[in-house]
Amino acid sequence: MINNKCYKSKSAEYSNGTCINIGGYYAAEAVRPYTSYCYYTSFNCSHHTVNGQCYSRASNHSHTVCKTIPQSYFDVSKNTCYYYCTEMPKIRQCFVAHNFSFTRETCRIIGGFYSNRTCYYITSYCPMHKANDGQCYANRSAVLTCNTCSNIGGHYENSFCYYYQNHCSAYNVDGQCYSSQTSTYSTYYCNNMGGMLRNGYCYYEASKCRNGPTYYRNCTCFRYRSSSKTAGTCANIGAYYDFNIRRCFYNSTHRCRYYSMNGQCYRYRSANFSSTDCSYIKRI
C-alpha cells in the first residue's frame, strides 16, 4: 500500500516522468539508501515507449538542443528527441518547465509561451546570443557603448551589448543613443562630460551618481580621474580611459595587480631589455 493505493509492481528503472505517464506513483524510500521507486500496476504507455521509458512527446529537436531538456533521450537512428512535459489544456500545449526570470523577448526566442510574467518552455536553449544574465538576445554588438546599450534596453558585458532591438527613444547620434542634450556646452565641456558635440549641441549621458563628487563614465560612477595615468595603466587596474580628454577614471578599489612603478601599472617586466629598447617599447 503506497499513497493510499495498492500497486502491483515497483521499479527503480523508471524515471519520474515515465511513472506519471503510466499512472504510477514515484517516491523515495524512508530508509537508507533512500532509493527512488516507481510503484505501478502495469506498464501501459499511451505515448512513446523508447529506451525502456514512456516519454510524453517526440520532436525533431537536434541532439544539441535535446541535451538541454531535462531527462530527455535522443534516438540517433531516428534523429528524434523524446522528452517529458506537462500538459496545459487551455493553450493546448505541453511544456517541460517554467521560469519567472525570463523576459517576454527571451521566451519568444526560445519558443516558449509567456503568460502572467512567467515563461513556459520546452527547452531553454538559446539559438542566438546568450548573456551571463541568463537571457537570450537577438543581437550582439561590440560597437554600441554601455550607455547606448542601457538606453535601448540591452545588457552590457565583456565589451559587448546584447539587445533585442536598437530602438533609441532619445537622441540617436552617430549610431549611439544619448539620453540628454544641451546647447550650452563648448567642445571642451562636452568632451569633459563624455559627450558628443554635433551641430552646436552636446549629446551626453546624465549622471546617475548620487554620493559625493563623482564622474559618470561607461555606466559607472568614478570618484577620481587622472591625466598622469596612461591608457595602459588604466586598463591594467581595471579602470576606464576616456581617449577624448586623455583621462583615466578610477576608484580606490582599482589597484595594480601586476608591477607598480613610477605611478604606472605595468603588466610585464624583463631584465633582457636595454634602457634604449625599453624606451622604444614605451613609445609604441
Q: Where are the domains of the chain?
A: 1-55, 168-206, 209-284
The DSSP bridge partners found for residue 87 are: 94
CB 18 within 8 A of CB 53: yes
Phi, psi dihedrals of residue 37, rounded to the nearest 5°: -130, 155
Angle at alpha carbon of residue 107, lines to 106 and 111, rounded to 5°: 115
C-alpha–C-alpha distance, residues 250 and 217, integer Å: 10
Give percent of the chain above pLDDT 70: 97
93-108 tens-digit pLDDT: 899 999 999 999 999 9
C-alpha–C-alpha distance, residues 147 and 144, integer Å: 8
Q: What is the pLDDT along the chain (284 residues), one digit of tens a residue?
A: 677 788 889 899 999 999 999 999 999 988 888 899 999 999 999 999 999 999 999 999 999 999 999 999 999 999 999 999 998 888 888 999 999 999 999 999 999 999 999 999 999 999 999 999 999 999 999 999 999 999 999 999 999 999 999 999 999 999 999 999 998 668 888 988 889 999 899 999 988 888 776 889 999 999 999 999 999 999 999 999 999 889 999 998 899 999 998 889 999 988 888 888 787 776 44
C-alpha–C-alpha distance, residues 71 and 67, integer Å: 8
C-alpha cell at 146: 554601455
Q: What would the 3-class secondary structure string for 94-145 be?
A: EECEEECCCCHHHHHHCCCEEECCEEEECCCCCCCEECCCCCEECEEECCCC
**Site of grid cell 510524453:** 56
3-state DSSP assignment of residue 197: strand
246: Cα within 13 Å, side-chain hemisphere: 3
The reported pTM is 0.79
171-209 tens-digit pLDDT: 999 999 999 999 866 888 898 888 999 989 999 998 888
Residue type present at position 172: N
Q: In the prediction, which pLDDT does 185 show?
A: 63
The dihedral built from the CA positions of residue 102, 108, 113 and 115, taken in this order, carries a sign that is positive
Q: In the prediction, which pLDDT does 284 show?
A: 43
